[in-house]
């Protein structure tokens, strides 16, 4: 679950899913803080914080 924030705090971006006729389930979600970026592969059921050091 993402941290609770006011509306408009997070922004979502679609990650292209090869072979999908729709937008698919994968997204990158960004927050306003530096390196506050999350990825989800299951359309918001779970999130992983992006590791910017890898």
12 has catalytic annotation: yes
33 has catalytic annotation: no
Give exposure, 7-40, as e/b (b: 16+ Cβ within 10 Å).
Answer: eeeeeeeeeeeeeeeeeeebbebeeeeeebbbeb
From 11, 32, 33, 43, active-site residue: 43
From 12, 33, 36, 52, active-site residue: 12
Specify the DSSP class assigned to residue 2.
Answer: P
Q: Which residues are catalytic?
A: 12, 43
């Amino acid at each position: 679950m993402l941290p609770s924030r006011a509306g408009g705090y997070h922004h979502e971006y679609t990650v292209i899913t090869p072979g999908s006729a729709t937008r698919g389930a994968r997204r990158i979600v960004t927050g306003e803080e530096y390196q506050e970026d999350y990825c989800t592969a299951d359309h918001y059921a779970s999130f992983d914080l992006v590791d910017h050091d890898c």
